[in-house]
Amino acid sequence: MTIESPLSFSEIIGLSFLTIGLIVVTRLVIYLLKRTWHKTKCKLVWMPIDSVERRSNLSYDEFVKEYAFVGKPVIITDAMKDWTAMTKWTFDFFRSKYGAITVNVKEDSTENQGATTIADYINYMTTGNSDRRFYLANWVISDYSELLKDYKEPIYFPNWLQRLPKKLLRKYDFDHPDVFIGHQDTSIGLHKDHLYGSAWLGMIRGRKQIIFFTPDQEEFLYDGKVDVFNPDIKKYPLYAKTNPVEVILEPGEIIYIPSGWWHHVKNLENSIAIGSYLLNEWNSELVFQSVIEKNLIKGHLLPLVLEFPWLIKTLFGLGVI
């Protein structure tokens, strides 16, 4: 007995394409609705502050409501307590285990960059025989799985960049996390994180001094040329109108740096820290718009590849992104 299909082969193929089309259209509609929500709800806001709060036992919902959603920095005091890195990551550890690795360093006074090994840098830093100050900043450790096991991504900081392939992240210098090993008195100059990203920074050894400025004070900061630890008011008179907020980041503490906040970071002691640039729902529209201003096509493609990861290999292979 032969049972005939109620549909012909061509009808089955047509129905399959229709189903796939409906799925794609539905996903696109959901994507557009989410973008609309983000554009209206996740605008850059900030709260004037006199100090940066320290919080413990902070839930994710509390963090979003009180800090991420309103663009307010915060220090979280207990998010690193279970990290192996807190006891394992010492200067001797990095010198002995990773000493042969070549890294970039910059001279603090001139911003000139050079290369050295981790062992040579730590030897220079710990002997104290030079008046010159070099900073080993932004050593990306994503290839070192054993180091990645020594810390835990804080629950407060979901990162959409993790959806993208490593080759793409490296192409645009978005590969993270970064380790910072800093000589006492070195600093990363006054800046806001590029493309309106936000960031977190966890202190493992030593202490850092950080001076913050709300985004609305940008016109007084001369594109970051001011040394806020020793400001030259004659050269930069508008700086006198700022309202800086200072904080000391202690070992075991993580600080959240919202989008658009200018900050100047200085190592008060020889230090080790880890941090990451963030792209998520609370700053995504700001980042997308910043990319659009630099490259119209890539700026419109970025949210699409984040929403539809299957697009990435095709566009990356074609050299579009």
Least confident of 16-20, 110-114, 229-233, 270-274: 16-20
- Cα 105 from chain centroid (whole Å): 19
Residue 68, amino acid: A
Mean pLDDT of 136-158: 94
User: Rounded distance, CA 247 to CA 249, Å?
Assistant: 6
What's the confidence (pLDDT) of residue 68?
93
Q: Decide if pLDDT at 36 tops 60.
A: yes
Q: Give the tens place of pLDDT for each residue, 63-88.
A: 999 999 889 999 999 999 999 999 99
Reference 162, options 276, 13, 46; nearest CA is: 276
Q: Decide if pLDDT at 216 tops 60.
A: yes
Q: Is 197 exposed, middle or buried (0-12, 13-18, 19+ CB in 10 A)?
A: buried
- More reliable by pLDDT, 190 or 168: 190
What's the confidence (pLDDT) of residue 308?
77
Task: Please give the backbone phi and psi of residue 203, each rounded to the nearest 5 degrees, phi first.
Answer: -95, 125
**Residues comprising the chain, all counted:** 321
Q: Decide if pLDDT at 185 tops 70.
A: yes
Q: Decide if pLDDT at 91 tops 90.
A: yes
Q: Decide if pLDDT at 202 tops 90.
A: yes
What's the confidence (pLDDT) of residue 252?
98
Q: Give the tens place of pLDDT for each residue, 301-320.
A: 888 888 777 777 776 666 66
Going by DSSP bridges, is the β-strand pair 254-257/198-205 parallel, antiparallel, or unpaired? antiparallel
Cβ within 8 Å of residue 253, ≥6 positions away: 54, 75, 76, 77, 80, 202, 203
